[in-house]
Amino acid sequence: MSWFKKLTDGLRKTSASASSKLSGIFSGKKINAETLESLEEALISADLGVSASQKIVKELAKIYEGESSDQDELLEALAKSITDILEPFEERLEILDIHSPHIMILVGVNGSGKTTTAGKLAKRFSQEGKKVVLVAADTFRAAAIEQLRGWAEKTSVDLMSSERGADPASLVYKSIEKAKSEKADLVLIDTAGRLQNRIELMEELAKIIRVIKKLEPKAPHNSLIVLDGTVGQNALSQLKAFKDVSAITGLIMTKLDGSARGGILVALAEEFGLPIHLIGVGENAEDLQDFNAKAYARALLGLTEK
């Protein structure tokens, strides 16, 4: 199955929701203030956010206001507007040879898919010929360590772990030292899920970042937030809280196949302007793919590949 087909299937709940909200707004009616207001409401309720929705409606008004509408034409115009907002933030996640090693940390709330994402990334970079050290810095959840051990065995990468409840910052320190001595290309750190309003847990994350900087002042080279596509507008507050603590450099969106809220990526791009590296629509390693703004926008609206 092609990635676009997987993406379309994964975003089916979102596109069905968006289609039901958009259908009837433009079926042959004159496009006027009333229809544009209805469109704006439909886009906001599809989680695109107020700012992005207003920007899209303003663009469409310039071109179509006063004319009779055609549903297909308007959907194509919508897809283009969404693509235009997202395309500047489409960025492939790369391991840079100038870093020795490249240090990447994954953060986010409980259940966002960090550990699975860490395993998938370990597989991806290992297959690209990189020497990877995978770090199980979620030392509070035995299942996370076991999960990463499974990925490490499958992909033949080194796993650094410690006993349950150990200090994660200490483990991260040892892992970076090991990576340096063995000339590894990448240190990939999975951290414990933490709620953004738990101050002590956020301070622990800040400690991990400080330890990384002690060994590599310009690291982490990627501080990536993993967001669950099913949480909708909550993703905005999550990103804001983690951005303040760990200087987020980019985002990965998982579980879009379980959500009718896939439009939230547009709101995130508009508000934070951060690179969107990867999106996930399933459990398998190949279900996490590079973000492509045009493909995402078309799948979001249930349109065919172009």
Q: What are the tens digits of pLDDT across the range 112-147?
A: 999 999 999 999 999 999 999 999 999 888 788 999
Q: At residue 210, does pLDDT exceed 90?
A: yes
Residue range 289-298, pLDDT digits in tens? 999 999 999 9
Q: In what order do the strands lie in the sheet with 222-228?
A: 158-160, 132-137, 186-191, 102-107, 222-228, 250-254, 276-280, 288-290
Q: Is the pLDDT of residue 1 over 70?
A: no
Q: Read off the pLDDT band of 76 (50, 70, 90).
A: very high
Rounded distance between C-alpha atoms, residue 241 and residue 62, angstroms: 37
Answer yes or no: are the C-beta atoms of 272 and 225 closer than 8 Å: no
pLDDT for 268: 96
Question: What is the average pLDDT across 237-245?
Answer: 89
Q: What is the number of alpha carbons within 13 Å of residue 3 lying toward its C-beta? A: 14
C-alpha–C-alpha distance, residues 93 and 275, integer Å: 9
Per the prediction, the chain carries an average pLDDT of: 90
DSSP state of 108: -
Q: Is the peptide bond before 168 cis (omega within 30 degrees of 0)?
A: no
**Span 7-20, average pLDDT:** 79
Q: What is the pLDDT of residues 38-69, one digit of tens each?
A: 889 889 888 899 999 999 999 999 988 888 77
> H/E element holding 133?
strand 132-137
pLDDT in tens, 213-235: 999 999 999 999 999 988 888 99
pLDDT of 191-200, one tens digit each? 988 776 677 7
Mind listing the domains of the chain with CATH numbers?
Answer: 3-89 (1.20.120.140), 102-290 (3.40.50.300)
The length of the chain in residues reads 306
Check residue 129 and give its pLDDT.
95
CA angle, 9 as apex, 292 and 45 as ends, to 5°?
75
